[in-house]
Structure 1
C-alpha cells in the first residue's frame, strides 16, 4: 500500500491463551486485517508459582513482525501492542527483567486484598481509582511481592509496555492499562501518588504515562536486523488494555449501546464520558477503566469463556467429545429453563476440575446438577447470558446511560448459541461481531496517529461498519419454561 493510499500496520494482540500478530491495511475507505502469525500462550508453573513465559511470547512477537513484513505490500509503518491487564514485569536499574512475571491466576494473592484493605480503606480506594474488587489487581499483586524482588526493582512495566520497551528501549505506561492497576486516579488521569505511598511502594516504579496514539519511538537496530523491518518503522501506543482496543472496534452507530467483549474473560458495560464513583457503584462491583479518547469503560468483569474452555480441556483429557462445534450443537438441542450458577464466583478463577466446581455451584444455588456434556455446556452458556443481562441492567441503572442494543465482539461472537441466549436474556437485540474487534481497534488508533484516517471514535466505527459484516439476533418472546 502506497503512502498516498493509507498505512500498513502491525497489531500485536496478546490473549490469555493465545497471541497473534495481525497485518492491517488502513485508508479512509479501506480496513483490512490479515493474520501474519498466531501462537499459543502457555503459562509455566515453577516451584514459586504460576508465571507467564514472556520470553517465548517476545520470540513469537518478533517472528510475527518478520512474517508481517514479508506479507505486506509496502513498508510496515508502525506496531502497536495490546494484552490483558494487571500483570507486569519488574526491571532493575539496568533495565533487566528481575524475574518471570507472575500469572494473575497464581494463588499468591489469596487473602492479600484483605490485608491491603486494613491499611487503605476500600471506600477510599474506590473513590480514587473507581475499580471493582478483583483479587489479582496490580495493587494486590504488588502487596504479595517478594521483598527481594521489590528491592531490586527500579521500574514496573505492564506487559504491553514491557514488550514495547524491548522493541524500542523506551519505558513508559499507557493510560488504559494503567487505569486497571488500582494505583491510578480515575478523575485526574494520573498516578494516584497518595495510594502509592499508602501501599508502601516507591513512586519511581511507575513510569511516564502515554496516551493511545502517542508515538513511542523507532525500533531498536537489533530488532530491525532480526525482523527485516525498515528503519522508519516505529512503535505506537494503542489502547494497550485489550478491552480498550476492543471497545474502539465496536461498530456502534450512536452512544446508546452496551458491549460484551467476549473471550477468556467477558467485559460487559457501557462507554461513558466520565467515571461513576458512587457508593452504589462500588457495592455493585463496577469498574471505571480508561478508554481511548478520554472515555471511560464502565463495566464489570464476567468470568467468560474460560469456563467453557477449561471444561472442554477436561473432557479432552478424559477421552470424551471435545469438538466445540459438536458440543454447541448438542447444547442447542437442550431446552430452556435449566440450571444457572454465578460465573463470577472466585472459585472458578484457578484452572482444573471446572465441571466439578460447576456442579458444586449449582448445588449451592439449589439448582439441579447438569448431567452430561450437552447440559453442562448449556448450563455454562445460560449462566453467562444471565450474567451479561444482569450486568447490562446494572450498568444502565448505575450510570443513567440508556441502551438500545448490545454489541458482542471478540471470539464469543462466533458462538451463535451464546449470542441468541444473550439477546433473549437481555431483551435487546445483540449485534455479533466483529470477531477481530481488538485488532481492529489497535490498528485504527495507529492509523489515525499516522494520518491514514482522521476523525473521532465514531468515524473509526463507521469505517468498521462499512467494511466488516455483523450478525443481528433479535430477542425471542419468553415462554413459561424460561427463567
Structure 2
C-alpha cells in the first residue's frame, strides 16, 4: 500500500498484491519467506519512489540467522503441530503479561536446536534486515513473544537463563530508521529508508482506530480477532492471568490489553472447503438462517488448516448440539459464535481493567461483514463503529508520517483517520 498525507487527509492506494501461501515440507508447515520477500521487492518497485517504508506483519513467528547472517531454514508456521505438547505456560505471567497460546514464540524456540543460530528476527525485522542490512527488534512485536518484560519494557533476560535460551539470539530493541542497502536500492530503482513502525499488524491497526475518547474497546478483525482496550499500563493480576488476557505493547508507551479470538479463519477455511464460493450471497442467506448452534471459536480443533465444516459438525456432536444444516446455517453459526466471543472478551476487558467502554470499534477486513457487525452490536449492547478496513496499513503509514513531521501525537493520528476513512455505525437492536 502507498500512502499520502495531503490536505488534512491520509489516502491509501493499493499498488501491489501477492499471495502468502504456506508450504508443507516433510510434515512441517513453513512460511514461503523468499516468495514474500520477492513480493515486497515487487511492491516497492511498483510504489516508487517512496519517501519512507514501514513493515508490519503477523506476530510470533521468526527466522534464525547463523553467524554469517544467513537464514537457517524457512520460518515455521505457528499453525504447525510442533508446539502441541505445550499445555501450560513456561513464561511467568507476572513478567510477560502474555496470554497463553501453545504456539507463542517462547514455546516455538524451545522446540529448536539453537547451536548454529546467532540471531532470532521476527518476520518484519527479518524482511527489514534483508532490505537494509541492519539487525534490530521492534517493541510491539517483541511484546508478543513471551520473552518480553512488560514492566521493565525490555527483553526478559532472567527468563532466558531459566529456559536455557542463549542471550545472543535476541537483538537490541530499537526504533531507528535505516536506509536501504545499495543493491536493494538499485534493484527497486530508488533509495529510501525503512522506518520502524508498530510492526505487529494489530498494534498498527489500533493506531488507526478512529476513537474520539479513551472509552472504547477495539476488535481488530481478520484471520484472527484481537479484542481489548487501550491502557496506560499493563494489568498483571491473577484474575487477568486466569482470564487469559494479554498485555502487548502499543505505540507511545500504551498497553494493548486484549484477548485473541480465533476470528474469521474458521469462515475462511469453510469457504476453502466449499471451493471458494462467492461470500456475499451466503451472508445474505445467513441473515435469515435460523440456528441456535454455538461453537467456541477458540477450541483447539479449529486451529489447524483442514476440513472446517466437518470439524464444526464434530464439535456439535461432542457438545450435544444439532449441527448446522447447509452452508448458510454454518456461516450464521460461525458469525453468531464470534459475536458472543467478542461480547465475552469486551466484558472481561472492562471488568479486569476498570476501563469503562461506550463504543466498540471494529477495524480490519471484518468491518466489511455487515452481519458480523450487527450481531456484535446486539451481543455487546454497544454501538459498533465499523472501519477503517485497511487499519493496519493506515496505522503503519501514520507512524511513518509522524516520523516525517506530517502529523502529531496519537490523538492527531486518529483525528486524521476520522477525516479520511469512511466508517459505519451499527446500533444494538435490543435482542442480544
Scaled by the length of structure 2, the TM-score of the pair is 0.98
What is the Cα deviation at residue 166 of structure 1?
A: 0.3
In the alignment, which residue of structure 1 is the partner of 2:215?
Answer: 256
Whole-Å Cα distance in 2 between the matches of residues 198 and 48 of structure 1? 31
In the alignment, which residue of structure 2 is the partner of 1:218?
Answer: 179
Whole-Å Cα distance in 2 between the matches of residues 394 and 200 of structure 1? 35
Counterparts of 1:182-331 in structure 2, within 5 Å, are 182-211=146-175, 214-215=176-177, 217-230=178-191, 233-316=192-275, 322-331=277-286
State the Cα deviation string for residues 173-208 of structure 1 (Å, max 9, x = none): 000000000000000100000111111111110001
Whole-Å Cα distance in 2 between the matches of residues 275 and 28 of structure 1? 37
In the alignment, which residue of structure 2 is the partner of 1:51?
Answer: 30
Counterparts of 1:28-43 in structure 2, within 5 Å, are 29-43=8-22
Other structure's SS at 2:53 match: strand
Contact 1:247 1:261 in 2 (8 A): yes
- Answer with 27-36 or 298-307: which moved more: 27-36
What is the Cα deviation at residue 359 of structure 1?
A: 1.5
Closer/same/farther in 2, CA of residues 48 and 363 from structure 1, 3 Å limit: closer
In the alignment, which residue of structure 2 is the partner of 1:105?
Answer: 79
In the alignment, which residue of structure 1 is the partner of 2:142?
Answer: 178
Closer/same/farther in 2, CA of residues 369 and 113 from structure 1, 3 Å limit: closer
State the Cα deviation string for residues 406-451 of structure 1 (Å, max 9, x = none): 0000000000000000000000000000001100000000110111
What is the Cα deviation at residue 139 of structure 1?
A: 0.3
Gaps of 5+ in 2: none
In the alignment, which residue of structure 2 is the partner of 1:353?
Answer: 307
Choose the corresponding residue for 2:288, options 296, 318, 333.
333
Whole-Å Cα distance in 2 between the matches of residues 281 and 112 of structure 1? 20
Other structure's SS at 2:274 match: helix
Contact 1:113 1:140 in 2 (8 A): no
Closer/same/farther in 2, CA of residues 422 and 405 from structure 1, 3 Å limit: same
Other structure's SS at 1:136 match: coil
Contact 1:92 1:154 in 2 (8 A): yes
Contact 2:217 2:227 in 1 (8 A): yes
What is the Cα deviation at residue 363 of structure 1?
A: 2.8
Give the ranges of 4+ consecutive aligned residues of structure 1 lying more than 3 Å apart after TM superposition.
none
Whole-Å Cα distance in 2 between the matches of residues 209 and 234 of structure 1? 18
Whole-Å Cα distance in 1 between the matches of residues 5 and 351 of structure 2? 38
Whole-Å Cα distance in 2 between the matches of residues 144 and 327 of structure 1? 41
Whole-Å Cα distance in 2 between the matches of residues 247 and 210 of structure 1? 20
What is the Cα deviation at residue 452 of structure 1?
A: 1.6
Whole-Å Cα distance in 1 between the matches of residues 117 and 7 of structure 2? 44
State the Cα deviation string for residues 152-176 of structure 1 (Å, max 9, x = none): 1000000000000000000000000
Choose the corresponding residue for 1:61, options 29, 40, 43.
40
Gaps of 5+ in 1: 1-21, 70-74
- CA-based RMSD of the aligned residues comes to 1.2
Contact 2:9 2:417 in 1 (8 A): no
In the alignment, which residue of structure 2 is the partner of 1:136?
Answer: 103
In the alignment, which residue of structure 1 is the partner of 2:357?
Answer: 403
Whole-Å Cα distance in 2 between the matches of residues 48 and 176 of structure 1? 31
Whole-Å Cα distance in 2 between the matches of residues 359 and 384 of structure 1? 17
In the alignment, which residue of structure 2 is the partner of 1:458?
Answer: 411
